[in-house]
Each structure stands twice: as C-alpha cells, then as structure tokens.
Structure 1
C-alpha cells in the first residue's frame, strides 16, 4: 500500500534504501521507542537518515491507511464509546517556555480521541500544548467545535429501551470529570457519591473500560509511549497518528483479534482486551476539573439517565441504590 510512495529513485551516485527497509526502520522506532542513534547503528545508516525516514514514512502510513479505516466505519450510534484524552510525555522543546509543561511536572502534548466499542480510534486530535486543559483541547479541536455547536451530524434522539415514558434522549459520548457536561457529553458526578448517583457513576465507568483498554492495547504494541518521546513536537504528531491508524489496521486484519464489539453484561472489558503489561511512562492521564457551567438541558439529560439506570435500565451486576 505504501511501497510505491516511499520508493526513492536510483541515481548514479548511490542506490536508495529499499522501501521494505525504510518501513522496517520506521516501525522499529514506533514499536520500541529506541533512539535514532540506536536504530542507525542497527541498520548501518546515518542518524539524520533515520530521522528523515521516520518523518516521511509515518506521514505516508497515515495518508494510506485513513481511507482504508474509513471504509470499515459503521453508523455512529452502533460504534462509539468514549472521548478520552491522554498526555504524551515529550522531551522539552527548545525555547518553548511553559507551553508544553503540565502540572505533573512533565512536558507533554495531548492526544484527544474518540474510541469505539471495537477498541479502535474513530477521531484523533493530537498536538495541543500540555498546559492546556482538556476542556479547552476539546473546544479548540475541529471535532469539539462541531460537537459543541451541533454540526457534528449526530443521530437523532431515540427512546430508551423499556422507558418510552421518559421521552426521546440524545446519544452521548462518555467522558471523565476532566471534560464539561454537555447535552452530548456525559461526565460522572464529582467526588464520592451514594444512591442513584453512585449507580450512574458505576455504569459510566463500566462503559469507559473500553476506552482504557484501547489505550492499553496501543501502548503495549507501540512502546514509543513507554518513555519520553525524544523527537520534535511536529514529528511526535505524525508518529502518534501513524500508531493510531496502524492500531486500527491491526485490529481489523489480525486473525487473532477478538472481534467482540462490547463486553457482555457483568463482564468488564479487561477480560477481552488486556491492557498494557506495566505502567506506560510516556502516556499519562492528567486529570483536571472540568467546567461546572452545564446547561439545564445537559443536567436534565444526565438526571434522566440517573433515573433510567436505577429503574428501567438497571442491570443485575450494578450496585444497589
């Protein structure tokens, strides 16, 4: 798929590095997180050559596989799960001041993504400064702007199963407390809760297991995320996008991939999709308190779901009120 694009022209001075080897160099960097110098010694090429290959091939991978991934997308209401964000720890860029510095004391850029029920990425936005709050990252992204102004093209409201008397309710993206509460953006109640609010938080947390597992699978395959990513922020963006689209490609083409779309009732996601086998140093959850300025409509939707999960939509495996 990418061979013809990354094939270099043979000249009278030297033979180019074959496309298979160029791809291998790029994938080795993404899969191991080794330095350019280490990979250069391994393949007997120059350090600057490795840097150019990684930059070029990651861009080509993204451009080649995005249309392939889009062909497998089903309807949004059958697919999407949650809206997570993760901070990717990077080497402090020169002359960047505090733009990339987050309150945990590391330099990072933010990966904002929409994850579906098959552990795949549907939307990826990467490159925001580490100091930016998750709510601002969402608001500044193309996806967030369309979501917040109602032009994203979400499915129409539907009736909840077995609760027609509650009226039609909107589809929502499941998030954590770092994001604001909106009509189509559902966050948990903050702090320790009891009663129906505790049940709601539990159900929301259960749905977000798919999100956590997706990032676990990503970091277990692409160990670039395990340490400080030692390339420039612009190149980090292309590398992250390449790993996300390769993650989707592998999920949909591997014969050993578990294709179950969602965990059965009472069975949490980790039993079907193991997370990373250890702490991902380079992939951090930096939680911030989201805005409390929710609209009355958003509060109404959440209270409707609170009532539904405690009554008509109650599950046998959830906590009792």
Structure 2
C-alpha cells in the first residue's frame, strides 16, 4: 500500500469516527413522556385527590371512587396493552382517566398530551377503543324492555311520577356536529353543518331506554325513527286498554314533538294552527309538562360531557362510539346509589310538584347545552294516530 492509499484510509477512518461521535442515539421515548408516572396529571392528580381530597375527587369526576374502580375493573381486560423492549405500555387506568377527561371537557388530543404526558398519537388510538369498551361492558345499562310486562312497568312509572298513563317513553334527538367526513354531502343537516343524529327514548327517571347514533344528518328525523330497532320493537307492547275513566281501548304510546309524524304509537302535541280551544291547550300542556324528562336527559348529557357541545374531530364511526359511551356512562351514574347525586346533584333536574303540578326548573338549564335540536316541520299524520290523540284529549278533560 503506497502513501496515498494510507492517507485516504486514515481520512476515511477519521471521518467515520467524527460522524459516530456527533450522532446522537435515537430516543424511542421522549424525555417529556418518561416523566408520565411522576408528573402526568392522571397519576399525580388522581392519587392526590384519592388520598387528600375525597370531595375534590367526586366533584372533578362526578362519580365515586368506588364506581371508578368498578368501571376500571370492567374495561381493563379489553384495553390492557403489553410492554415492549422499547416502550412501556399505557396502563388501563391512565387510558380510562384520559378518556373520561376527553368526554367531560372535549379537550383536544394535544391538550390531553400536555397534561397526561402521553403522545397524542396514542391518545387518538386508545380513546375510541376505551369508549368502545365502555359501551360493551355497560351494555345492560341501556336496554329496552323485550316483553309486554316490561313495557307495562315503564308505563306505570310515568303514571305515578308524571300522571301520564299509557306512556312508554319520551322520544327526542339531537344533531352531533363533526368534521366533514367522506361522502360529506350525506351528513349536511338543515343548518348546513356536518352531523350525525342521536335519537333517544327516555324513561320517567331521566334514563335512556334506547339510543340510535350514527345516521347521517341529512336524513329526516321521522325516517331515522321509522328505520330504527325501536320502531320494530313496538310489536311487543301491552294490548290496548281504556285510559282511566274511559271505555275506548287506547294503545300505549311514545311522546314526541313536531319533528316526528303522528301515528298509532307515537303521540305529539297539536301544532299552533291546530289549537282551537281549551281542550287542545290542555292536551298540549299535559304532554309538554312530562316532556321535561327527555329535555333533562339530553341537557344533563351535554352539560356533563362537553365533547358533545362541539364538533367531534373523528370519523362518523368513531364519533358514534364516543357519543354512545357518553350515553352509557349517563345511565351507569344515574343508576348508581354512590354516584347519582354527584352526577346530578339535588336541584340540577327539573321536578314536578305532585300537588300543584308546577315544574321547578333545574340548574342544568343555566348552561347552554350546545347540541343542535332536530328540525321541526310539517308531517303526514295518519288517521289512526289522530284518533288516538283525540281519545287522550278527551281523557285529559275528564
């Protein structure tokens, strides 16, 4: 080897050594995320509240520590991830706490990243997964009756609490705004926003008996109902029987508003131009008085889960799962003796005075609920539905 070759080889070796010296080792996990266990709000704040401030814990999460632990135990098998040689998996507790904060506040994934020290990429992946797990493990908390006796029990609760016999629920819906999806024109609602429809049937205790989520916002509200499992399940209702003090058999009915068409099993108030006297006004008053249950259910839902107040920045399928998780959590907390008064404190819901019949308004109405109402409009009322409404009007006048 001559001197020129030796010099070239020495230069090459020196260059390689210089490059290796300057090259920084690749970080599989950023230092910011490494401090999640000690500085992340999920671990530090959660632990501080549990140990030092039980009242603050309840006011922050609107549920008891016991119910949070029950929920964590239910979803953990479905969302547990395994550590790798390069990264530590996000614990089920952290996944659940971040998801609950997202549903409660509607924070962006970037904002959640900064307080949880979990990357927004991971958050965007596990939030829909946790919501899906919540819906699966709480499936029994949103369920329609499947027998005539079950519907009869629902009707009895309306009769006792709201003095409204033969009522099996109040029906309403909202548009949930979202970003423009594929086939975006199908999702444009009457207010020119992109949305999916949330349709819900509510019982006398402000709980959801049935929900249908995900229909494109362009579809009419009556069409959503007519194509729903709820409409098909009306075949299992109790047989018609006379209203108290009447002789004409009357079917069991769902109460709705002008967004839906009058039918045999769907009752709605008289429209403005149909009110001709005291009888129609009394009918409307009795129906509208009991409709506070569905107004309260949707109002509390959006007051507690602020993600529903803004445009959801995911696909329609994931948005539907997020909305369903909110509904199932609503029923879970409403039916829990430990959390019901944390989720809906005394005075937050509308209540009817059993003596005077007057309604005292709940504090949830002080907050803008944000969700878009269904569109009111003319609809074709079937003759059978008209006859049922006339019978209820005669009953209210007795």
Pick from 222, 240, 246: which aligns with 2:329?
Answer: 246
Alignment coverage as a number of residue pairs = 301
Distance 1:35 1:216 in 2: 22
Indicate the structure with greater helix content.
Answer: 2
**More divergent stretch after superposition (241-250 vs 200-209):** 200-209
- Residue 293 of structure 2 is aligned to residue 218 of structure 1: no
Pick from 99, 104, 116: which aligns with 2:203?
Answer: 116
Distance 2:358 2:76 in 1: 40
Secondary structure, counterpart of 2:213 in structure 1: strand
Match of 1:98 in 2: 185
- Residue 254 of structure 2 is aligned to residue 173 of structure 1: yes
- Residue 246 of structure 2 is aligned to residue 155 of structure 1: no
Match of 1:316 in 2: none
**Which is higher, the Rg of structure 1 or of structure 2?**
2
Match of 1:318 in 2: none
Under a length normalisation based on structure 1, what TM-score does the superposition of the two structures give?
0.86
Match of 2:150 in 1: 75
Q: In structure 2, do the counterparts of structure 1 residues 140 and 239 end up closer, same or farther at CA, with 3 Å as the change threshold?
A: same
Secondary structure, counterpart of 1:84 in structure 2: strand
Cα deviation code 1:29-50 (max 9, x no counterpart): 1000011111122211222211
Cα deviation code 1:146-192 (max 9, x no counterpart): 44xxx3x11222221222x2x22111000001101111100111124
Report if the CA contact (8 A) 1:177-1:289 is conserved.
yes
Question: Shift of residue 15 of structure 1?
Answer: 1.7
Under a length normalisation based on structure 2, what TM-score does the superposition of the two structures give?
0.70
Q: In structure 2, do the counterparts of structure 1 residues 61 and 175 end up closer, same or farther at CA, with 3 Å as the change threshold?
A: same
Question: Shift of residue 306 of structure 1?
Answer: 0.9
RMSD: 2.5
Match of 2:352 in 1: 263
Match of 1:314 in 2: none
Cα deviation code 1:1-52 (max 9, x no counterpart): 1122211122333221111000011111100001111112221122221111
Distance 2:243 2:364 in 1: 31
- Residue 276 of structure 2 is aligned to residue 201 of structure 1: no
Secondary structure, counterpart of 2:272 in structure 1: coil
Distance 1:155 1:71 in 2: 14
| Structure 1: runs of 5+ lacking an equivalent | 312-321
- Residue 82 of structure 2 is aligned to residue 9 of structure 1: yes
Match of 1:284 in 2: 372
Match of 2:316 in 1: 233
Q: Which has the higher contact order (CA 8 A, sep 6+)?
A: 1
Question: Shift of residue 305 of structure 1?
Answer: 0.6
Match of 1:128 in 2: 215
Distance 1:258 1:154 in 2: 34
**More divergent stretch after superposition (112-121 vs 5-14):** 5-14
Q: In structure 2, do the counterparts of structure 1 residues 276 and 241 end up closer, same or farther at CA, with 3 Å as the change threshold?
A: farther
Distance 1:72 1:181 in 2: 23
Q: In structure 2, do the counterparts of structure 1 residues 56 and 210 end up closer, same or farther at CA, with 3 Å as the change threshold?
A: same
Secondary structure, counterpart of 2:364 in structure 1: coil
| Structure 2: runs of 5+ lacking an equivalent | 1-73, 155-167
